[in-house]
Structure 1
Amino acid sequence: MVCYFFQHSKMLLHLVFLALQLHLAFADDSPLEVFQVEAPLRATYEGASCQQVVVQHEFAASYGTPYVGTYSPPKDCEFSTTIFNISVTSSGINYDRLGLLYFGDIEVWRMTTAMPVRTGIFWNYQKDVTVFDTLIRSEQTVIMGLDNIYNSVFTGTYNVTITALYFNDGEALTPAEMILPISTESSCDNKISVISLPDGDGATSIVFPRNTERAVVSILASGNGAEEFWYRNVLTEHINTFNNTNLSGYSPFREVQLLIDGELAGASWPFPIVFTGGISPGLWVPIVGIKTYDLPSFEIDISPWLGVLCDGTEHKLEIKVVGYDSETTLGTVGSNWWVSGSVFVWIDHHGSQTIGTPVTSNLPPPDFHSSSQFTTDFGLNASLWSELTARRSLSHTSSVTTSTGTRQLTFSQDLSYGNLQNYSASSFNKTLWSQSKGTTSFTSFFNDTLIENSFAYPISFTTDLINPEDFQTTNSTLVAWLERSAQSSTVPILSYLTNQASAQVPGVVTTRQKGSGTYFWNNTYYEFAGAIDPAIGTNGTTEQWYSSKGFLGEYGRHVQAVDGYEPVLILDGEHDHVIQMT
């Protein structure tokens, strides 16, 4: 990989571009860094109080065989912040893989891998796991699942090292005293505790401490298999539009729900993850998609429910994933959504019983509108155009009394969604635009004001499959174009309650990716995956703009990559620098 950083004129950019073109003629077979554009977590990663390896394992033929190890907290080491660094190397041929890291029955990190090439790849990524402080300071069974195929065709293994870095930042943390799982609780059998929905059971019963002061649920959820590209699915009644099996149903809408004793407490309209083999693999080498190495969780403040939850009896917390159904409004989805939840509990150490008024809830049903049009050719369906929009608002409020007095606590959401799709050429050509956006509000720790978080996740792409009728016997060509963004302004609830000093400044992130790629393949494609010659593999151009502003200051980057397998061209633009890091 060739990488240049600079802060000068566009003329210099042009000269560097020419120099890189000349350099490419002599490119070697060095492993390729496949990276995610993200602001650094710290101004420097030097000066750790201590560090230790948490996972070191090669995932080869690892389907159903996770890594299992033991974690012990560091001794004689003062620290307030914990960061996990993952380092991965791979070479050969393989799919992208989903990785899940558990401490016992609690999932602390979900990531997906880059796709390897013959000459090898590597990447590093850092995740702040300070919110799991109560786990990090105790003995834990470490279980990491990374289901991988390894045989004469799929020759890529994943060599994974996760290292814990402990920093003493001199901050007084207020971490959750308890973290309880919503999972299969399979760690005693040396298995990952992820729940597969809709086939599995997403419910668990919990007895909360009577003196709970705050409680927050964090949920990880990602569609896999038949649900990997849920946002380009069609209404179930349209799956046979083209008399083939190329369309998936249950609509392009998904809602991940948290229910407390059967009542909806909060919902997520999830981020559209694109794995590194998704849409067109050439788009994601060497720049991977947004949030690839750290799949996003979402948080629901269930503190307004404490008057109910602190009665000393069991309460049912359940995760569900639903789609839009034109007859029942909300219905089932395809297999398989992998979900897990963690319930973070803060204790009122000066109180013995938390009480509260009944929860006042505003839960109108979601509002959906859908429409579709068809064209025909010689009596057969030739194209399908469809539109689906949705809105949902909800809120829960109650007065909760602890040893510090009585406060009114509120959690509310306002969500909107839109999806436009056009399928043509018997569904082999696809065009999509989709966006979910919304706001979530929770009550401040210091007073009764509401802290509002906002997000917007637009994505659009086209894919055209040339000569689709021949793809079983001769090379076909998949031509793809994509543009997507992630915009957010957030004070994460867990970070805010864990480290109130650093989390009071909203983190504002705006990033945008656009790219195009050509993918040459047939039913024996994987014999050629990762080849140096793009004519028998894949190629593409991807560009990304990134800017963020938060507790550490401001950060910006612009990066472009061309034909990422080999040769590699990476252009780092004028804004690829830290504007201010304190």
Structure 2
Amino acid sequence: MPNRHPAILLPAAFALAVAPFAVTSSAAADTGPVTSNPPATFGPTWDSPRTAEQPVPVPNTPSCSVTVLTHGFDNFDVVKTPYTAPTCGTKGYAKAVLKLDGSVKGRQYDRLGRLDINGVRVLTTSTPEPSAAGITWHTEKDVTDLLPVLTKSGTSAMAIGNVVNDTYTGVFNVKVTIDFYIAQGPVKAASTADQVLPLAGTRSESGDLVGTITAPRSSERVTAQVYATGSGGGCEEFWDTSAPASTGYSCPDGLPYREVDVLIDGKLAGAALPIAYVYTGGWSNPFLWYNIPSPGAFNMAPLEYDLTPFVGVLNDGKAHEVRVQVAGGPSNGSGWSLAAVMQVWTDPLGRTLPAQLVSTSGSPAAIRSQVTGQNDNAGSVTMDARRSFTATGWVDTARGRVTTTVQRTLTNASRHTWTDGESRDDLDANWSDKQVVTSAEKNRKPSVATTALDWSKKGYITFLPHPGIPDAYDITTDLTIGINRDEQSTVYGRPQPGLTTTNTFTGQASWLYGVPREQRTASSHSKQVYTARTDGSAYRHTLEAVNGYFTVDEEQGR
């Protein structure tokens, strides 16, 4: 939030989906004891962070584990290690679950991390901030859709950019493993794309990620995953509170609208809204995140694009340019980290498939805004944005001609206000991203897959002089974040099992800034509730923490 006080944006240095076959869940390291008598204020130690997200459901079949990496990250080097594919699944694998376990102690900032295997992005993450005594953390991710690349030996590459010196002493000790659950008996091998590919020859052009894909002539479906994070310590890390320079606001990166576009050979092929993740030093208050990180902070989900209408452009056996760009940000494209993963389904017999892109339609985002403020005075940005894009194409498959239409609808409503000197910042923002994919075949009812994402942020920061102590300030952050996802589909008109998840964080924290460390005081109360519901099952996990210690950790329906 307020960049006018840059020191408070570096708090570490200054601060103390349900599979139908699943019958169990992978082991979760994010559950633990609670206390009924938390301390009155924060002390020098606290519980390690936990998340309420559901452990990845897995089948009740034998599994084997591959260790990807064990390393202590203390610089910005990319650590490359040989990757050995699993060998236990002679009939294939039903599930693959990546697990990251880490530990850190001392003083350290929150850091961004990434993991690639055989050139394919597998995980984008951020780290917690430690106590002097040390903490541990755990995250896991369903990577079943990446089995085509994970079942090939090669190389892994991981980085967690970090600086370690006499002041910032925390080294991030990390172990990454992948558990592979074999297909056995009634548990069949997972249905995935035939090829999972990184972009070839990637380069950066004015902040855009540019590379190529060479799809086989037998391609019949193509999708993309794009990891897009505002980062680098500049204003794009806080892009959802950006304001035009005319307002005098401390993050003058224009209106707070961003979208991530995918272009094929220079033609728009898909658009999506990025999520403004909050890292564990975010919103000027590490005490808010010591126990419960913001939703998605440890496992940042990729944006998803169905590019099947463009099969007719891609499946000629030639290299085609794929460009990923962030619209609405700085003109030089700075402040974003981008990675793309392409998934390709092919004809089972390898036949060349005729295909054609029929049409695309859509205009740039329609944005309405009202802006007030100048210099160091109070100001506001009120904005409503809407964007739609549609693409249609056909492929002559073994089943006959399949015509696919992808409709994307994006909306963003935001109101951001601040007082004189930015002593108080308020944000109330909502985003919605809906993708509808309709596949039509002759003499059949259409198949429709709908994915609707909705997320929100509502809260404030105050930065007020502390009575009686010169140059000391009371910082208070109050914030509610919600991320909801709904997946529904029909196959030839027949409804399929759906999945609905909700992920809500609420919390308030206050701390005294600008005094010697031994005089700092802080208090915090935070809560996270995660729910998942599919046909016939429901899951709910509630966490609450007060002043560094968990007071509630309740699961239902595992």
Paired position in structure 1 for 2:487: 490
Structure 1 residue 266 corresponds to structure 2 residue 264: no
Once the two structures are superposed, residues 490-513 of structure 1 have per-residue CA deviations (whole angstroms, 9 ceiling, x without a partner) of 2699xx9xxxxxx95322111221
Q: Which of 240, 250, 256 matches 2:254?
A: 250
CA contact (8 A) 2:437 2:449 kept: yes
Q: Which of 303, 320, 328 matches 1:315?
A: 320
Paired position in structure 2 for 1:216: 223
**1:293-312 superposed matches below 5 A:** 293-312=298-317
Counterpart of 1:208 in structure 2: which amino acid?
A: A
Once the two structures are superposed, residues 321-372 of structure 1 have per-residue CA deviations (whole angstroms, 9 ceiling, x without a partner) of 1117xxxxxx736622000101111111335222223321121232110112
Q: Which of 499, 502, 505 matches 1:507?
A: 499
Paired position in structure 2 for 1:544: 528
Q: Which of 105, 122, 127 matches 1:113?
A: 127
CA contact (8 A) 1:351 1:402 kept: no
CA contact (8 A) 1:211 1:402 kept: no
Q: Structure 1 regions of 5+ residues with no counterpart?
A: 6-15, 186-194, 325-330, 497-502
CA contact (8 A) 1:183 1:202 kept: no
Shift of 1:33: 2.1
Equivalent residue of 1:126, what SS?
strand
Shift of 1:101: 0.2
Paired position in structure 1 for 2:449: 451
Distance 1:381 1:316, change over 3 A: same
Using the size of structure 1 for normalisation, the TM-score is 0.82
Equivalent residue of 2:357, what SS?
coil
Distance 1:537 1:492, change over 3 A: farther
Distance 1:93 1:552, change over 3 A: farther
Equivalent residue of 2:149, what SS?
helix
**1:523-534 superposed matches below 5 A:** 528=517
Q: Which of 208, 212, 234 matches 2:243?
A: 234
1: CA distance, partners of 2:488 / 2:113: 26
2: CA distance, partners of 1:262 / 1:2: 48
Equivalent residue of 1:210, what SS?
coil
Q: Which of 512, 516, 521 matches 2:508?
A: 516
Shift of 1:115: 0.7
Structure 1 residue 176 corresponds to structure 2 residue 174: no
Structure 1 residue 424 corresponds to structure 2 residue 414: no
Shift of 1:105: 2.0
2: CA distance, partners of 1:29 / 1:469: 24
Once the two structures are overlaid, the 10-residue window that deviates more, 412-421 or 28-37, is 28-37
2: CA distance, partners of 1:157 / 1:133: 31
Shift of 1:311: 2.3
User: What root-mean-square deviation, in Å, do the aligned CA atoms of Structure 1 and Structure 2 show?
Assistant: 3.1
Distance 1:350 1:159, change over 3 A: same
Paired position in structure 1 for 2:80: 68
Structure 1 residue 438 corresponds to structure 2 residue 419: no
Once the two structures are superposed, residues 148-202 of structure 1 have per-residue CA deviations (whole angstroms, 9 ceiling, x without a partner) of 11001101111100111111242233322222213765xxxxxxxxx76x74441
Counterpart of 2:53 in structure 1: which amino acid?
A: E
Paired position in structure 2 for 1:371: 370
Shift of 1:520: 2.5
Paired position in structure 2 for 1:570: 551
Distance 1:425 1:230, change over 3 A: same
Paired position in structure 2 for 1:37: 52
Paired position in structure 2 for 1:327: none
2: CA distance, partners of 1:162 / 1:433: 37
1: CA distance, partners of 2:467 / 2:71: 42
Paired position in structure 2 for 1:8: none
Once the two structures are overlaid, the 10-residue window that deviates more, 382-391 or 310-319, is 310-319
CA contact (8 A) 2:105 2:130 kept: yes
Distance 1:517 1:29, change over 3 A: closer
Distance 1:334 1:427, change over 3 A: farther
Structure 1 residue 553 corresponds to structure 2 residue 537: yes
Paired position in structure 2 for 1:161: 175
2: CA distance, partners of 1:162 / 1:551: 32
CA contact (8 A) 1:482 1:515 kept: yes
CA contact (8 A) 2:309 2:356 kept: no
Structure 1 residue 337 corresponds to structure 2 residue 342: no
1: CA distance, partners of 2:33 / 2:488: 34
Q: Which of 281, 290, 299 matches 2:295?
A: 290
Q: Which of 129, 139, 142 matches 1:125?
A: 139
2: CA distance, partners of 1:356 / 1:76: 38
State percent identity of aligned pairs: 24
CA contact (8 A) 1:415 1:438 kept: yes
1: CA distance, partners of 2:43 / 2:536: 38
Equivalent residue of 1:229, what SS?
helix
Count of residue pairs the alignment pairs up: 514
2: CA distance, partners of 1:110 / 1:491: 26
Once the two structures are overlaid, the 10-residue window that deviates more, 337-346 or 72-81, is 72-81
1: CA distance, partners of 2:536 / 2:165: 46
Shift of 1:98: 0.7
Distance 1:492 1:302, change over 3 A: farther
2: CA distance, partners of 1:104 / 1:552: 38
Structure 1 residue 202 corresponds to structure 2 residue 191: no
1: CA distance, partners of 2:452 / 2:318: 35
Equivalent residue of 1:273, what SS?
coil
Distance 1:562 1:234, change over 3 A: same
Distance 1:30 1:247, change over 3 A: closer
Once the two structures are overlaid, the 10-residue window that deviates more, 546-555 or 509-518, is 546-555
CA contact (8 A) 1:430 1:464 kept: yes
1: CA distance, partners of 2:440 / 2:298: 31
Equivalent residue of 1:571, what SS?
strand
1: CA distance, partners of 2:87 / 2:393: 43
Shift of 1:551: 6.8
Using the size of structure 2 for normalisation, the TM-score is 0.85
1: CA distance, partners of 2:275 / 2:555: 27
Distance 1:334 1:250, change over 3 A: farther
2: CA distance, partners of 1:368 / 1:257: 17
2: CA distance, partners of 1:28 / 1:466: 23
